Amino acid sequence: MSAWRTISLWMDQLDEPLLARPALEQDLDVDVAIIGAGYTGLWTAYYLKRLAPGLNIAVVEANIAGFGASGRNGGWLMGNLLGEDRLLADLPAQQRRASFDLLHGIPDEVEIILEREGIDCDYRKGGVLYCAARYPEQEASLRQYLDSLYRQGLSESDYRWLTPRQLAQQIRIAKPYGGIHAPHVATIHPAKLVRGLARTVERMGVNIYENSPITQWQPGRLRTAKAQVRSHWIVLAVEGYAATLPPLGRYQLPVQSLLVATEPLSAATWDEIGLSRGQAFSESSRQVTYGQRTADNRLVFGARGGYQFAGKLRHDFDLTSGEVALRRYLFSELFPQLKNVRITHAWGGNLGMSRRFKPHMVCDQASGIALSGGYGGEGVGASNLGGRTLADLILQRDTDLVRQPWVIPQGGLDALKTWEPEPCRWLGYNAIIRSFVHEDQTLANPATAPWRRKLVSRVAGFMEGFMH
């Protein structure tokens, strides 16, 4: 069995043999060299080739296509961008609405390409259910969130409040307090998407080299252990692996997210739970949880993981019993009938977190450096937007895409915000996450006194403010 199969449920489920493509053994001269064969690198290659078929493009990947977050994620393909509310806050109302529409359209754009290129990745656009599912404070915070969306000009057709009874028509959870439904989200099989994209760009004439880690980079030049690449453009598409390409790690910190998958569940169990249209769902604590019912009827459920001192990458994703138990506890709170269900797969990955939690799409014509990342756990859709945007920026196309507030059209990496030096980052991150866990444990205990509930929520809310 290929070792790549152990990366995730998704990689394990692929029909293909999962053999690495040839490594880069000889020096190359190309127009565009892309580091990383995840969604960002492959979407960038795709749109560049569509717009300029004559370009000579090479994708250089340390492992195999889909080794990173793109082959591991929870499969929420969102028509959103992390921090979009803060990014769009200062725009005039009409422009803000146009930007929201652009983001909401991401799943439809992906669907068009899946159909055009014959990529089957179990795409289902059932929207997302943000559920107030464990304690009453979740209802209050979701209602606040909804109000803030409406204040920005969004409407019921974008985000709609569901009473417990309306929620139960889509998902049946033990303690429903209500929820929000948003239609602009699809669920997918992540590995089928990334592997399908790799085959598609190859068919279009892009060369992909695997097992070829880049060890040094500078404008116009890359090096692996065996060869060098000269290129007019260098695209940095490594997201959570930015630490491998100094100084990129100062701008995109690796944070983990960890998931479990159950065995396929019976039709009777799904009749009890619902989720019949491929809806994504979460329970709205600050643990950042996400779930979906897979095409083969498993429950996949994840929650945010840790951060290692000095931005060290986590390589071993054999989850500890505590990490699995936390995820089992969280989904069993929603679906008590799954308390003892068999978990067949547990895995995780590194994602890239930018300072202030705002994703960035950067292009510097002077140095020939482009990058898109810092999606902070919401990159399945954002990477499609990133690929489209980088293609337009590189080809100097004057489109709506390049005029968005997340685009940094010049200045390169220097235009990005850096993270604080250690030990501030580590201490800060862990203090914030601890306050979230403490809040969750306190609020989940119905015996907690009202004054304590308020206090822990205030503290966690205050700590969350530091992230922005």
Residues within the interface to ligand FAD (CB under 6 A): 35-41, 60-63, 67-70, 72-76, 78, 213-214, 237-241, 244-245, 257, 259, 290, 302, 348-351, 373, 375, 377-381, 383
- Minimum CB separation of residue 412 from ligand FAD in Å reads 18
Q: Would you say 176 or 349 has its CB closer to ligand FAD?
A: 349
Q: Which is nearer to ligand FAD, 75 or 196 (CB)?
A: 75
- Among the residues of 238-348, which ranges form H helices? 267-273, 321-334
Beta-carbon-side half-sphere exposure of residue 424 (alpha carbons within 13 Å): 6
Alpha carbon 367 to its chain centroid, in Å, reads 28
How far apart, in whole angstroms, are the C-alpha atoms of residue 42 and residue 36? 8
Smaller CB separation from ligand FAD, 368 or 377: 377
Rank residues 76 and 251 by Cβ distance to ligand FAD and give the closer one.
Answer: 76
Between 55 and 371, name the residue whose CB sits nearer to ligand FAD: 371
Q: CB nearer to ligand FAD: give 214 or 456.
A: 214
CB of 447 to ligand FAD, least distance (A): 34
Beta carbon nearer to ligand FAD, 178 or 379: 379
CB-based contacts of 90: which residues, under 8 Å, 6+ apart? Answer: 405
Give least dist CB 179 to ligand FAD, A.
Answer: 18
CB of 10 to ligand FAD, least distance (A): 10
Helix (H, G, I), strand (E, B), or coil: what is residue 182? strand
User: SS3 for 65-131, per residue?
Assistant: CCCCHHHCCCCEEECCCCCHHHHHCCCCHHHHHHHHHHHHCHHHHHHHHHHHHCCCCCCECCCEEEE
Residue with tokens 């799954």: 338
What span, in angstroms and rounded, lies between the C-alpha atoms of 72 and 49?
26
Closest separation in Å from C-beta 398 to ligand FAD: 25
223 membership: H or E segment, kind and range: strand 221-223
Which CB sits closer to ligand FAD, 40 or 404? 40
CA distance 126 to 300: 16
The nearest distance, CB 24 to ligand FAD, in angstroms, is 10
Amino acid symbol at 307: Y
Q: Is 137 or 210 the residue whose CB approaches ligand FAD more closely?
A: 210
Q: What is the DSSP string of 126-173?
A: --EEEEE-SSHHHHHHHHHHHHHHHHTT--TTTSEEE-HHHHHTTB--
Give the shortest CB-293-to-ligand FAD separation in angstroms: 13
Q: How far is the CB of 284 from ligand FAD (least distance, A)?
A: 16
Residue with CB nearest ligand FAD?
Answer: 379
Nearest to 242 by CA among 30, 38, 79, 25: 38
Kindly state the smallest distance separating residue 350's Cβ from ligand FAD, in Å.
6
Q: In the block, which residue shows the tokens 């499609």?
A: 384
